Structure 1
Amino acid sequence: MPLYLTDDQSLLRDTAREFMAAEGSIASQYRKYRDMGCKDGFGHALWRQFGEMGFTGILVDEADGGLGLGHVEAGIVLEEIGRNLTPSPFLITAVTVVEALKGTALRTRWLPGILAGDTVGALAIDEGPKHRPDAIAMTAERSGNGFRLSGRKQFVVQGASADFFVVAAKADDGLTLFAVEKEARGLTVEGVRLADSSIGARLEFDDVEVDADAVIGEVGQGGIILSRVLDAGRVGAASEMVGLGSAAMEMTVEYLRQRKQFGRLIGEFQTLQHRSAHLYSELEIARAATLKAQQLLDEGREDAEMIVSVAKAKAGRVSTLAAQEGVQMHGGIGMTDEYDIGLYMKRDRVLNELFGDAGYHADKVARLNGY
């Protein structure tokens, strides 16, 4: 497929851009919920507006009340979320959790609330300081007609606000995914404020009992679903980082056009022009790689996994470059809270770690190519 948007996708982009700029801006959302010390870190009213706009149903099949669209369309919304640093559960709930529930019996339990913007789900995968889904140690032991979950999870984004968790654990038959409600006995949720002021959580499962109906898909087949879920999350995070990098660059270029030094606009200095041009070209490469990965996922291609890792690694490095260049070109004021550019750097750090950083995915690409 060509690496540009169709007319319908362009219309969605224009709609999402206008909506996020008006309703999800840094001033009206990010700063508001950060400064009030909100325990959730995002506005539930805006999440319900996402439902009204149909954004929450982009990946939900039409038969289940959604729009039945794909990862390209979800990425369009995520790029605008990244551009405005809009705090919302969209990436985790409407992308990864929806992907986990697709085609399972549990979709009738949770999708209606997600579609309405009333329900928040969270993904409980990571257990160590880095993203290592192949090293899951949490156990799921058979207990009567169900399972007993024991172990810990961390870096559970929106975990303190979630109504339920998609949890990966090792059963006797292999890796299995479970949908665990927040009120489950033996489950402890500790909210943690992340670098970008969003709220994550650490979870402790102390012999949490769940019945067989909590299994997502089939026992022992969780690895297949998890792979699909992580690919969706990774390419979604890449889209958000492309939006973040684009906004940081635009903000910086606008500053270069206004700030004077030694009687000249600093944007006239050739070195800064070269750095800005380099950043622009890198962002376009990241955007193209991300769009290609989304198209391959939507086509169900077997080689999608590698291109998803290429996109996550490239977008991660470029968003970091955009944030760092932005702060440096702003000078010392770039790290003051008065200017928004420093907020992009903080959000970049969280998105880079989410679902694996650039190093993790560069290594994965090498392994997939036989190195």
Structure 2
Amino acid sequence: MVRTVIDRFSARNRIQTHGRSDSDDQNTLMSASHDAALELDSVFSGSSTIGDLERLGYVNRSPRFVSGRTVIFASIVLSKGFFAWENQATFDEFINNRRKFEKCLESGSGWPLFHFVSIGFKSYFNKNVPVNKVYKYKVVDNDKVDDIRELNKELVCKNATKSLYKVEFCCIFRNVSNSQGLAFHKFVCFQPDGTRTPVFLLNKIGRKHSDCQIFEPITGTTLNLRWLGTTGYTSVFGSNDLKLVVLDDQTPHLSHRLNGDTGSGQPEPEGNRSTRPLSTMPLWARYSRAVSIIPIPKRRVLKLATFEIGEVEETSDVPFTTELLTCMCMYLHELESRKERRTPLTTSPMFTVPFVDLV
């Protein structure tokens, strides 16, 4: 017994000494805070984990993040919903261009990535109507407008060479199953080739945290993820901070309740396999709401929150996986901040949002 404890202690010390992190062989929630999303790093380990985790039987297939991104959530006064910019630089460019899309198109940067809006009363009486929609801004050459495959494309502005379009990117549906005690949130997103990709976000009624399962195309793996900090139906107060972690394969996950597009009522996997605390699992992304006691905008723009996310590939374009998780985070932002606003059918924060950052 004493030797086993000593061996485990020695193994843990070896990981801390030779690993890439001072706390574990993977970046975890217990690590020191990071100043940039680039540091949201982890280890892609295939079918097994490295070091002590492999010996103890913990299998986590978190990818290796080679880059990072800080997405900005902000609201424009007198505009419905709120927007997301792909990084701080494009958000600053939008401010410098005085919120004019024409100037952003001329400068080649500054337009938003997404626009999040609520549908309204229709979705409360018809479950086939989405509760929210996310529109994406795309810039194309004037002679390649027909290449846009998304629905409901709308021309925002154009110049001699390029055009800025607003297209429908994601529809969000919600359904609550009282018999299963689950809330289902279905995200139907358009991929670049025009195909539709459905992804589910689930949470138990009366419990915190939300689960989702996504396919990561670069590594070719299907990952179980959990949004830590979401309050769901457990609290009348919203959460200001969320963390997205990659779960071990043996960790019980709500995706096992799904069978196609509906809940099948299948039980979560059980057995003698041990599970480690969530605080020791790899971190993929962080969400944080900005806080200010004076909700008065400067330059007609309210900075609402930041979303730091790691990326598996280095590219100038925003990867589809990042877009999908950003849409999911925007929806969670709306759910959590709505509790503070106490305005159930609007996403306009002109007068009642207490959590903003003056820009």
TM-score higher than 0.5 here?
no
TM-score by length of structure 1 reads 0.26
Q: Which has the higher contact order (CA 8 A, sep 6+)?
A: 2
TM-score by length of structure 2 reads 0.27
Higher share in helix: 1
